[in-house]
Structure 1
Amino acid sequence: MDAIYAAHIVTSDAVGLGGAEIIVMTSEDDGSSGNPPIASYALPDGDSPAGVLAANGWRSTGNGESEVEPGYTIVEVEPVEWERIVKHVTFAKAQADTEAARQELAWRAALQGAMLAGGSATRLAAAAGISRERVYQIRDGRR
């Protein structure tokens, strides 16, 4: 069976849901840990959700539209330009990978600094959720 996709459209009229955006995810539950978002697109004021979806390789199927609350609608969509969709999610993945690497370096630097300042390996290990041995490895720049 082919996947069914749903676009969760949050406009600037929504209260307490963050910024205006469209999040596309599968709408079927395959028993895994939920349905992770496939793609997220900004929804600038004045742009139509259908236009943003079309510009990014999706179109509404005309089935299954429902308003969850004012400013938040779910619309069934289908992919029409897989290459465009894959290019978008590849770029988003590269950004996330870069941010994860930056966070890893910051985490290591903080642990090294704390140890060099005389911090307790036991307390730092507990705070970081790692073993004391791992704290010493990070302090010494090993692995």
Structure 2
Amino acid sequence: MATTYAAHIVTDESLGGPEIIVMTVADPDTGAADEIATYPLGEGADYVRVLAEAGWRVSGSAETTDTGAVAEVEAVDPVVIVEHVTFARSRAEAEFARQDTSWRTVIGNAMRDGDSATALARAAGVSRERVYQLRDGRR
């Protein structure tokens, strides 16, 4: 039996649509679900075709929601899906590295400019000791 996922077909542009967000099926106890992949849904595009090209098969009819629709899907081409999520992961890692460098640079510069270690630590959510490490380029 194949693992099933929930494909959220978001048509509400105020929520970033139109796009498809494939997620794990919500946990029955907590309601928690994890985002697996997102795919743009061009104007007039058929979500079934977009999902098929991305390695998914719609296994049921879509249920209408306030933001679009939700359909049950299963993976039929895991290689294509893994390639997609690996690419998304590498982009996220690169963005994290860029943001981390910015964070370290701004805090280090502020410390060298004489700003308050206590205020900077509070703003950054770290200890005073950590902002001194950042100032000195340690860790």
Structure 2, gaps ≥5 residues long? none
Q: Percent identity?
A: 51
Residue of structure 2 in register with 1:84 after alignment: 80
* Whole-angstrom distance in 2 between the partners of 1:91 and 1:117: 39
Distance 1:95 1:123 in 2: 32
CA distance in structure 1 between the partners assigned to 2:58 and 2:38 by the alignment: 16
Q: How many residues align?
A: 139
Q: Which amino acid aligns with 2:34?
A: P
1:62 shift after superposition: 2.2
Describe the SS at the equivalent of 2:65: strand
Contact 2:57 2:75 in 1 (8 A): yes
Partner of 2:6: 6
Q: State the match for 2:53 in structure 1.
A: 55
1:39-71: CA deviation from partner (whole Å, max 9, x where unpaired): 1101111221111101100011125x21012x5
Between Structure 1 and Structure 2, the one with more helix by share is 2
Counterpart check, 1:67 vs 2:46: no
* Separation in 1, partners of 2:13, 2:78: 32
The structural deviation recorded for 1:31 is: 5.7
What is aligned with 1:95? 91
How many Å apart are 1:33 and its aligned residue? 8.0
| TM-score normalised by length of structure 1 | 0.89
Unpaired runs of at least 5, structure 1: none
The 8 Å contact of residues 112 and 138 in structure 1, kept in 2 or not, is answered as yes
> What per-residue deviation string (whole Å, max 9, x for no partner) do you get for residues 11-52 of structure 1?
2xx253222100001114176782111111011112211111
